[in-house]
Structure 1
Amino acid sequence: MRIFGQLYIQVLIAIVCAVLVGLLAPDFARSMKPLGDLFIALLRMMLAPIIFCSVVLGLTHVADMKQLGRLALKTLIYFELVTTVAMVLGFAAANIFRPGDGLHAQMMNSGPALAQVAGAASEFTALHFLMSIVPKTLVGAFADGEILQVLFVSLLVGAALSIGGVRPDSALLRGIDEAQTILFRILGFIMRLAPLGAFGALAAALGSFGPQTLLYLTKLVLLYWATSLVFVVCVLGGILMALGISLGRLVSLIRDEMMLVLGTASGEVVLPRLIAKLEACGCDKAVVGFVVPAGYSFNLDGTAIYMALAVGFIAQATDTPLGLADQIAILAVIMLTSKGGTAVAGGAFVKLAATLQTVQKLPLNGLGLLFGVDRLMATCTALTNIIGNCVAVLVVARWEGGFDKERFERWTAAEVDAVISGGGTVPHAEETRS
């Protein structure tokens, strides 16, 4: 019976119960929504301080600013290359399998929900994205909880401490280190509520939309999941193979987080645990502290596949001609609109609306076709994104000579959970190489 004490098993049981309750007792299932909302709120509360501590402590191990610049350049180049491959794969799947053919949905009614999404998308411009990186105040970045703003402030503080030559044993750094330990201990307490949170979020979704959510546009959903699986196994798996790491070992490492994402359809809820696990398993602290938070805004492989496939689907469903030149132009737009924002459920939907408004080639009302299955799509998006970000950390850490492969292979997910949930300290980069 020891297996039932593992988090991913508890979450999996909660997901099964949520599906049953959502289908058999939809009214009761809808009333469970506060459980999911509360759990996600608790975890989002932890994001800003954990990112700050991880980035600041990581940058104190950076020898000079040239090293930081090299790390940032390698990271962004990797992000852009892999997300571009993801977008091309999404367009290829749409063109080969053509999931929207035959719907003939030229006349779509625009409802209030679609108008709300369009309003949010109208604010997503290149200038708005760049301006949103800089918070109004230092404290405001933490109050709003925007990952990119917190990362920006953390980089400034970490760089200032690194350039200032603050001693590793200084009271300030010891205080930040102890704060990180306490934050991970609090995270361990919160994670005990994970099964309840996953149950509430998924049950409410199924109860609200009914069983048709599982059947509506089945071809599109299955194609999206299959395309994402191909990307993870072939592209990300191939990258890991080049590093001498098996994809199965990485999946085993983050299985708890994957189960949690499966229930909540949000990648944000697992960000703190990903940072802790990757640091503990042999990845350099500076690399983890920079790459993981940055990946939540710039390395969104699942979002790229979703947007490319959705654009093709809407064009086919609304009988809108979309030639190769049009698709290349849209791909260039997606390279911008897929960046930024947070990894909450539904975030990719707003970015898709921003893309349609930018290119003005496809009817915006075509988004209404995707409302019913957005939850199923968002779950796959979040899963693909977190796997992609973990692979990115391993790649960049290997490039920077900050990856201890032997330690990674020794540490199982259960051993890392003992560190996180048991209140132990997360090893520093030097400790991971010992």
Structure 2
Amino acid sequence: MRPNSKAAGSSGGSTGVKFVMARLRQLYVQVIIAILLGIALGILAPATAVEMKPLGDAFIGLLRMMLGPIIFCSVVLGLTHVRDMGQLGRLAFKALLYFEILTTVGMALGFVVVNVFEPGAGLHATSLAVNESVARISNTASHFTAVGFFLSIIPNTLVDAFAKGEILQVLFISVLTGAALSIGGKKDSPILRGIEEGQDVLFRILGFIMRVAPIGAFGAIAAAVGAHGSGTLIYLAKLVGLYYVTSLAFVFLVLGSVAGMAGLSILKLIRLVREELLLVLGTASGEVALPRLMQKLEKAGCDEAVVGFVLPAGYSFNLDGTAIYMAIAVGFIAQATDTPFSLGQQIGVLAIMLLTSKGGTTVAGGAFIKLAATLQTVRALPLNGLGLLFGVDRLMATCTALTNVVGNTVAVFVIARWENAFNRTKFDSYMAELAAPAGAGPQASAVAVPASAKAGE
């Protein structure tokens, strides 16, 4: 009996080791470990941690390098399946209507919360100076106009859109190209075959880049904690805590209700994109999640035309986290600087922010720039109030990016359901694969991204 017991114990131990090793091969586990190590390094050795910043910058740079080409290929290939331009117009109308409603709800929620809890009341920061960084950002934002925003969608040349990496400009070119090929192109066109093969190559390259995701997350989070110190975690804690709680409430109550009406669980959708959310957590940038999100949402049953159009457009127009951030920040600045800010003024600012919150990139600090644009436009609040937020912007940016990514994920599924372009069987099958033991599903090859991202596979 003893030998058998030893054998059983040995087998059990071997199984445990295999299970741990299998888990360690999963991308999201590697990213979690990297983030924890980065935080530890930032607290224990701040100077060394700050020097890790190039690792995070390099990883974000690699992913941003892929955005333009991947968006172009995905949108063009998706739109070639749309033979009816009326369908494209309907999709665009539904997407923009959805974006406007949800961002308005997010912004209104932010205003309600900041008025009820008053996180800036009693601070009496009436004699703040504008530091150099805030002045530079504000000066840049002062050139924002509605006309300029719409004109900025049009690139100087076709190549310029890709060279600058502006998502909205690339999307504009992609829609024009996809529509042109859809109307006059042939299904066996060598141009389409070339774009399709190019997409396969791009996703292979993405697979190579994702192998270093833990290193990038480690460098970004270590540098952030090292630069601001662990004291940043309690600096303006009431404001940061209120923002995080409000964002969580928006995700689980508002987005959860929207997803529920579409017959989906918000918890399942979050589990679907957990790896991407962890990358965003480490880098405070929503852009790092976009390439893999486009691929993953197609695999989860959403039509590639819907994914290719709605997701990139959402990165410019469906910024729920940004809307909540700006509403809370504006109210906080008014309270902290003892500036009278009536309900009528707040409604007026909300109307302006519905425009200024749109567009731009989703890198860390993007919402801060949009906030500066709003203050420059409104002139009802002191610009030096931005200095109050500058120290905790990195903490706020992380929550903003996470909320934006979840919001855009929900948007794709809801609009796909709205368009009858969602395959529930495919979704359930893919979720089952994600929940399967390591080595039995796509998680086992999460780092090595498959060559093709076609929705039909």
TM bucket (normalised to shorter chain) is over 0.9
Within-5 A mapping of 1:213-232: 213-232=232-251
Q: Quick check: 1:53 aligned with 2:76?
A: no
The aligned residue for residue 384 of structure 1 is 403
The aligned residue for residue 114 of structure 1 is 134
**What is the Cα deviation at residue 102 of structure 1?**
1.0
Q: What TM-score results when the alignment is normalised by the length of structure 2?
A: 0.92
| Alignment partners' CA distance in 2, 1:206 and 1:116 | 24
Q: Deviations over 1:238-285 (max 9, x none)?
A: 011111111111111100000000000000011000100011111011
The aligned residue for residue 379 of structure 2 is 360
Which runs of 5 or more residues in structure 1 are unaligned? none
Query: Could you tell which deviates more after superposition, 33-42 or 166-175?
Result: 166-175
Look up the SS of the partner of 2:197 in the other structure. Answer: helix
Q: Deviations over 1:198-246 (max 9, x none)?
A: 1111111111111221110001001000000000000000011111111
Report how many aligned residue pairs link the two structures: 429
Code of the residue aligned with 1:30 in structure 2: it is: V
Contact 1:315/1:321 (8 A) holds in 2: yes
**What is the Cα deviation at residue 419 of structure 1?**
7.7
Within-5 A mapping of 1:268-283: 268-283=287-302
Alignment match of 2:418 (pick from 399, 407, 410): 399
Alignment match of 1:161 (pick from 181, 206, 209): 181
| Alignment partners' CA distance in 2, 1:83 and 1:416 | 33
| Alignment partners' CA distance in 2, 1:188 and 1:253 | 18
Code of the residue aligned with 1:99 in structure 2: it is: P
| Alignment partners' CA distance in 1, 2:425 and 2:351 | 40
Q: Quick check: 1:181 aligned with 2:208?
A: no
Code of the residue aligned with 2:419 in structure 1: it is: E
**What is the Cα deviation at residue 18 of structure 1?**
0.9
The aligned residue for residue 307 of structure 1 is 326
The aligned residue for residue 24 of structure 2 is 4
Contact 1:280/1:416 (8 A) holds in 2: no
**What is the Cα deviation at residue 110 of structure 1?**
1.1
Code of the residue aligned with 2:27 in structure 1: it is: L
Code of the residue aligned with 2:78 in structure 1: it is: G
Contact 2:201/2:451 (8 A) holds in 1: no
Q: Quick check: 1:236 aligned with 2:255?
A: yes
| Alignment partners' CA distance in 2, 1:422 and 1:153 | 27
Alignment match of 2:451 (pick from 403, 421, 424): 424
Code of the residue aligned with 1:160 in structure 2: it is: A
The aligned residue for residue 164 of structure 2 is 144
Please tell me whether Structure 1 or Structure 2 has the larger radius of gyration of its CA atoms.
2
Code of the residue aligned with 2:296 in structure 1: it is: K
The aligned residue for residue 48 of structure 2 is 28
Q: Deviations over 1:76-102 (max 9, x none)?
A: 000000000000000011011110011
**What is the Cα deviation at residue 167 of structure 1?**
2.2
Contact 1:57/1:176 (8 A) holds in 2: yes
Look up the SS of the partner of 1:105 in the other structure. Answer: coil
| Alignment partners' CA distance in 1, 2:222 and 2:155 | 36
Code of the residue aligned with 1:407 in structure 2: it is: K
| Alignment partners' CA distance in 1, 2:451 and 2:75 | 19
Look up the SS of the partner of 1:133 in the other structure. Answer: coil
Code of the residue aligned with 1:130 in structure 2: it is: F
**What is the Cα deviation at residue 420 of structure 1?**
7.6
Look up the SS of the partner of 2:83 in the other structure. Answer: coil
| Alignment partners' CA distance in 1, 2:263 and 2:421 | 15
**What is the Cα deviation at residue 171 of structure 1?**
1.7
Q: Deviations over 1:92-130 (max 9, x none)?
A: 110111100110001101111111111121122212211
Q: What TM-score results when the alignment is normalised by the length of structure 1?
A: 0.97
> CA RMSD for the aligned pairs?
1.2
Q: Quick check: 1:89 aligned with 2:101?
A: no
Identity of counterpart residues, as a percentage? 63
Alignment match of 1:246 (pick from 265, 279, 285): 265
1:420 to 1:215, Cα distance in 2 relative to 1, 3 A: closer
Which runs of 5 or more residues in structure 2 are unaligned? 1-19, 435-440
Look up the SS of the partner of 2:152 in the other structure. Answer: helix
| Alignment partners' CA distance in 2, 1:32 and 1:324 | 46
Code of the residue aligned with 2:453 in structure 1: it is: V
Q: Quick check: 1:62 aligned with 2:62?
A: no
Alignment match of 2:277 (pick from 240, 258, 267): 258
| Alignment partners' CA distance in 2, 1:178 and 1:196 | 29
| Alignment partners' CA distance in 2, 1:361 and 1:422 | 50
Contact 1:276/1:420 (8 A) holds in 2: no
Contact 2:64/2:288 (8 A) holds in 1: yes
Alignment match of 1:327 (pick from 336, 346, 357): 346
Code of the residue aligned with 1:260 in structure 2: it is: L
**What is the Cα deviation at residue 368 of structure 1?**
0.3
| Alignment partners' CA distance in 1, 2:39 and 2:450 | 33
| Alignment partners' CA distance in 1, 2:153 and 2:405 | 22
The aligned residue for residue 104 of structure 1 is 124
| Alignment partners' CA distance in 2, 1:419 and 1:36 | 20
Code of the residue aligned with 2:225 in structure 1: it is: L
| Alignment partners' CA distance in 2, 1:419 and 1:358 | 45
| Alignment partners' CA distance in 2, 1:232 and 1:425 | 31
